[in-house]
């Protein structure tokens, strides 16, 4: 079928012919239309055509498929400001699919939920892990997933999992020491056990996807998580950066204090020795709490400044306990980053507390499934 946009004559920068299949072009255009619908409460076919650059005929065809798939619906007409007959408005249908999300990042507890594609929680559940690790921890994950699947009342779009540790592109957990998982093909095992699409992502990477999908975060974004340790998810041009060893964002074990406190990783003075929640609370027992938080914020600012300078980021979101982060810590981190990176050619950098609270990883798992199966970020 002829599409409004054709890529068949385009070539890769390397010069070889591009092997785009017609169905890939159609999938791309469906995602383009659906993204526009997710970005607006309602929109007409004419406005979709203007926004996407696709012809009216193509838009009508794509919209017909999305309506048949129950992903969108006609929601009345508008008299609008323009002359002519009223336009039929279209909106996303949030009631036709379920997405199942699992968060394995908390100590001793795994949580999960059944969500709508827009991130509305329809059902929540959890399992206490206690001291379970290895196969016992995997069994608990499988059990929780099965319970959630049984609860779902709509076709399941997919299952998203946010796991601690390093996770490769195939959803294999390379190393998650707290769960004693080493080289566990978590995604593949869950696919075989559940017979549904499953996508496993590192917890911090999932959380940065949630900031973009559900908290209006930009396409270039760092999200720092301060909890037992310190991790980060990095989004560049809307893509999660995985890195060479699937360890991008592991900023917690960068030394920011030469000769500082010993770290379990074997080095001294890692960012985690200042900024993890246990480190902060321990220091606050003996030192002035305000000064501990201010100094931790300055250390965070020192660690982030070269990253901000290198990547030209201006939005940094920090997740974790608000009572520790939202005050002296963020203010001092902001000040150090501004002092060290400001220039005429760069916009101001903003550090802010995440608005997603404890749900960031679960919503990130939802966003991961939505992005893969609907093409919507």
Residues at the interface with Zn ion (CB under 5 A): 253, 263, 265, 267, 270
Nearer to Zn ion, 118 or 267 (CB): 267
- The nearer residue to Zn ion, 250 or 295, going by C-beta atoms, is 250
Give the containing element (helix H, strand E) for 225.
Answer: strand 221-226
**CB-wise, 263 or 318, nearer to Zn ion?**
263
Q: Quote the least distance from Cβ 335 to Zn ion, whole Å.
A: 25
Structure-token pair, residue 277: 């929640």
Which distant-in-sequence residues (6+ apart) come within 8 Å of 35 by Cβ? 375, 376, 377
Residues 6+ apart with CB under 8 A from 374: 31, 34, 71, 117, 157
Tokens of 247: 């360890």
Q: Work out how close the CB of 274 gets to Zn ion at its nearest, in angstroms, rounded to a whole number.
A: 11
Which CB, 253 or 370, lies closer to Zn ion? 253
- In angstroms, the CA 249 to CA 240 distance is 10
Smallest separation (angstroms) from Zn ion to the CB of 270: 3
Tokens of residue 373, six digits = 């199966």
Using CB atoms within 10 Å of the CB of residue 180, give its burial: 0 to 12 exposed, 13 to 18 middle, 19+ buried: middle
Q: Residue 316 burial (CB < 10 Å; 0-12/13-18/19+)?
A: buried
DSSP assignment of 116-164 = -TT--EEEEEEEE-TT--HHHHHHHHHHHHHHHHHH--S-EEEEEEEES
Q: Token pair 């619908």 is at which residue?
A: 37
CA-wise closest residue to 365 among 115, 150, 109: 115
Least distance between Zn ion and beta carbon 233 (Å):
19
> Are 130 and 108 spatial neighbours (Cβ–Cβ below 8 Å)?
yes
Our CB check for Zn ion shows the closer of 90 and 304 to be 304
Closest approach, Cβ 265 to Zn ion, in A, equals 3
| CB nearer Zn ion, residue 71 or residue 270 | 270
User: Is the CB of 253 or the CB of 299 nearer to Zn ion?
Assistant: 253
Q: In the complex, what is the shortest distance from the CB of residue 275 to Zn ion, in angstroms, rounded to a whole number?
A: 11
In angstroms, what is the minimal distance from the CB of 303 to Zn ion?
A: 12
């Amino acid at each position: 079928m002829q599409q409004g946009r054709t890529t068949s004559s385009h070539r890769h920068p390397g010069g070889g012919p591009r092997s785009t299949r017609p169905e890939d072009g159609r999938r791309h255009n469906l995602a383009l239309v659906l993204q526009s619908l997710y970005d607006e409460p309602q929109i007409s076919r004419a406005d979709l055509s203007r926004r996407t650059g696709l012809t009216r005929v193509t838009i009508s065809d794509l919209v017909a498929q999305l309506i048949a798939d129950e992903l969108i619906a006609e929601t009345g007409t508008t008299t609008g400001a323009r002359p002519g007959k009223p336009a039929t408005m279209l909106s996303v249908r949030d009631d036709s699919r379920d997405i199942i999300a699992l968060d394995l990042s908390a100590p001793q507890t795994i949580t999960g939920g059944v969500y709508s594609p827009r991130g509305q929680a329809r059902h929540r559940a959890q399992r206490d892990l206690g001291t379970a690790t290895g196969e016992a921890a995997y069994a608990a994950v499988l059990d929780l997933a099965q319970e959630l699947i049984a609860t779902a009342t709509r076709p399941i779009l997919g299952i998203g999992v946010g796991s601690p540790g390093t996770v490769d592109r195939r959803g294999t957990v390379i190393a998650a020491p707290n769960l004693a998982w080493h080289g566990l093909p978590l995604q593949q095992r869950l696919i075989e056990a559940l017979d549904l699409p499953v996508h496993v992502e590192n917890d911090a990477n999932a959380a940065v996807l949630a900031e973009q999908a559900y908290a209006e975060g930009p396409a270039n974004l760092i999200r720092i998580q301060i909890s037992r340790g310190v991790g980060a998810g990095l989004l560049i041009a809307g893509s999660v950066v995985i890195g060479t060893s699937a360890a991008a964002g592991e900023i917690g074990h960068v030394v920011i204090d030469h000769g500082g406190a010993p770290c379990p990783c074997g080095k001294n003075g890692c960012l985690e020795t200042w900024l993890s929640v246990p480190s902060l609370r321990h220091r606050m027992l003996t030192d002035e709490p305000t000064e501990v938080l201010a100094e931790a914020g300055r250390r965070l600012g020192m660690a982030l400044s070269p990253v901000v300078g290198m990547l030209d980021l201006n939005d940094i979101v920090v997740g974790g306990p608000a009572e520790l982060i939202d005050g002296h810590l963020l203010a001092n981190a902001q000040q150090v980053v501004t002092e060290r990176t400001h220039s005429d050619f760069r916009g101001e950098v903003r550090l802010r507390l995440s608005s997603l609270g404890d749900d960031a990883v679960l919503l990130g798992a939802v966003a991961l499934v939505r992005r893969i199966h609907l093409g919507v970020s």
